[in-house]
Each structure stands twice: as structure tokens, then as C-alpha cells.
Chain A
């Protein structure tokens, strides 16, 4: 049963600390998306990759956020330094370009709390 996995599932940290969230896309998928969900802003697209290359990260605060794909099986989202306003649920999703349906498969999310 192929699925997107994310670690950690929950993270509590103090303001100023570095946070790294990891995502393993479904094997064979060639697009990866990072979203942030909050009650106030809803679901926001932060960044997306195709074939490990970043296509758009305009939704991401550049000064503190960075997203990378070191290899096809791992995507990372890093926040340094973290701030209380970064508290949210962060979702990774993967998909396969070339299929007409364009379905995205979401991971379970990482719930981040910055104190």
C-alpha cells in the first residue's frame, strides 16, 4: 500500500530553534509539494518540485524557510530560526506528471508547535 510518509508527526520546539521536517514521496512519483495548514490561512502551498528540481517556492518565507530534495526518496523542509507564527500542520504531497488526473497524494502531516 504505497503512501507518503512524514516525520516527525509532532514537533514542539522553542522559538529560535532549527526545525527539519522530512517527507518520503511515493516511489516513482516525480512531483513533491509542501503545504502549510492553519486555522487562519487555510491550506497554503509553500513549494513544489519536479524531478527533484524546485519549480516554485514563492509561497515560502525565504529568509527562514528552505526546501530541498537530496534524492528522489527524500524531501526536507527546514525552518531556521523558528518563530511562534510558524506553528501549523505541514503537509507533503506527491504526484506523477503525465497522468491526466493530476492527483496529489498527501502524507499525514507534521504538527509543529513553536513556543
Chain B
């Protein structure tokens, strides 16, 4: 069935790189997504990657996609305290904009 899995917690030092990993099951997903949830707020689309791409870079963010292993990762370079949030991996499935979200990875950035 449809399932998206990701680790629940990640703690990094300010200025280091963060890498959040995700595995998914639906190989027909056209896009794969990373959503960010800041404290007390709803989810917001952070970045995405088209399924026929291996990598996408957007300023401090790098998304890597391994379709063979159905593995997606988000790398945040020079992690700042403002990056502390929950990051959700998601795949699209079944049409009608339906997304399947992972459980979310809580990123804590410490000095």
C-alpha cells in the first residue's frame, strides 16, 4: 500500500548541514515533496522534485531522489536556528491532489 517513512528526530549544530531522509512506495508519483511546519503553524511547501530528476538545488536546499531505492533526501546547508521545524516528506497518489505524508522529522538546531 501507500506509505511514506522518515525518521522522527534530528539534532544538528548551527552552521552544520542537516540531512533528512525519507522512503516512499508509490513509484507513479509525478512529484515528491518536502513540506515544512513551523511551531504553531500549518504545513507549507518547502521544495519539490519532479520524478524524472535525480537532484534539485535551491539556495541552501538540495533534494536528492533515488528512484530505484525509492529514497528521497533533503539536505539543508549551513543550518540556522530558523530552520528548526518539522519536515514532512510526501508523495502524490490517486489524483485529486491527494498527498501521502510521512510522520515528519523534527529538526532541532542548537548553538
CB of B98 within 8 Å of the partner chain: yes
Per-residue interface assignment for chain B, residues 66 to 98, with 1 indicating a CB less than 8 Å from any chain A CB and 0 otherwise: 000000000000000000000010001001111
Query: Taking CB as reference atom, which chain B residue is nearest A43?
Result: B101
Assess A95 versus B104: contact at CB under 8 Å? Given A101-B31, A101-B48: no
* Cross-interface CB contact of B88 among A33, A43, A96, A97, cutoff 8 Å: A43
**Could you tell me how many residues of chain B have their Cβ less than 8 Å away from some Cβ of chain A?**
21
Q: Report if B11 contacts A (CB, 8 A).
A: no
CB of A82 within 8 Å of the partner chain:
no
When distances are taken between beta carbons in the complex, the residues of chain B under 8 Å from A101 are 31, 48
Which of these binds chain B: A11-19, A70-78, A102-110?
A102-110
A27 proximal to B (CB < 8 A): no
In the complex, chain B residues whose CB is within 8 Å of the CB of A91? 42-43
Are the CB atoms of B96 and A106 closer together than 8 Å?
A: no
Query: Could you tell me if A97 and B96 are in contact, using CB atoms closer than 8 angstroms?
Result: yes
With A48-B98, A97-B97 known to touch, is A102 a contact of B92 (CB < 8 Å)? yes
Give complex CA distance A65, B75 in Å. Answer: 39
Contact A106 B44 (CB under 8 A): yes
Given contacts A93-B42, A107-B42, A109-B42, contact A102 B104 (CB under 8 A): no
Those 7 A-B pairs whose CB atoms lie nearest each other, nearest first: A106-B42, A95-B97, A42-B103, A106-B43, A31-B97, A102-B92, A102-B97
The residues of B with any CB-CB pair to A shorter than 8 Å are 30-31, 33, 40-45, 48, 88, 92, 95-99, 101-104
